[in-house]
Amino acid sequence: MCYLRVSLLSFSLLFSGPGAFGGGATTVYFVPFEIDTYVPITRATIISDAWEKWVISSNSETSRLFTLLSNGPEDRFDENNVRGLVLSDNESYLIDSNGVVLKGKLSIRIDKAQFVRFKDSLRPDQRQVIRKGSSSK
């Protein structure tokens, strides 16, 4: 059953293609996965606590990101260890420190290394550093 839901999400993203993400930019607020904080980062605080803000306007990069966010086994999302928020059109995804992505009620574990490689592939003008090392590790 869990693989069916993940497969349906993957299929719908693949079938709809990059045009499904509209003409607007995708915005990502991100705190590195390895950062430990004194105060939990939650869905309510991820934007103000983010270390980086990415703005992705390319349909191919947006499609690549959403494909990455939709592949993996079901897992449990940690509400007190949010490390990412992805906003695109009317879609939003949360990512916790373990690489578990929450989309609605579906939560799946993605490959964190692939996500970091995606981040590293972005051009410098797509990534804005908001804060450096202001939380303790």
**Which tokens hold the place of 1?**
């059953």
**Which tokens hold the place of 47?**
């934007």
DSSP letter string, 59-95: HHHHHHHHHHTT-S-B----TTBEEEEEEETTEEEEE
Closest listed residue to residue 98, CA positions, set 35, 39, 12, 43: 35
What pLDDT was estimated at residue 14?
38
Starting at the earlier edge strand, list the strands of the sheet with 106-109: 106-109, 100-103, 91-96, 82-88, 26-30, 52-56, 127-129
Tens of pLDDT, residue by residue over 78-106, are: 999 999 999 998 889 999 999 999 999 99
What pLDDT was estimated at residue 101?
98
pLDDT reading at 30 higher than 70: yes
Q: Residues 19-45: what's their mean pLDDT?
A: 86
Look at the block and give the residue holding tokens 């349906």: 8
What pLDDT was estimated at residue 133?
59
Rounded to two decimals, what is the model's pTM? 0.80
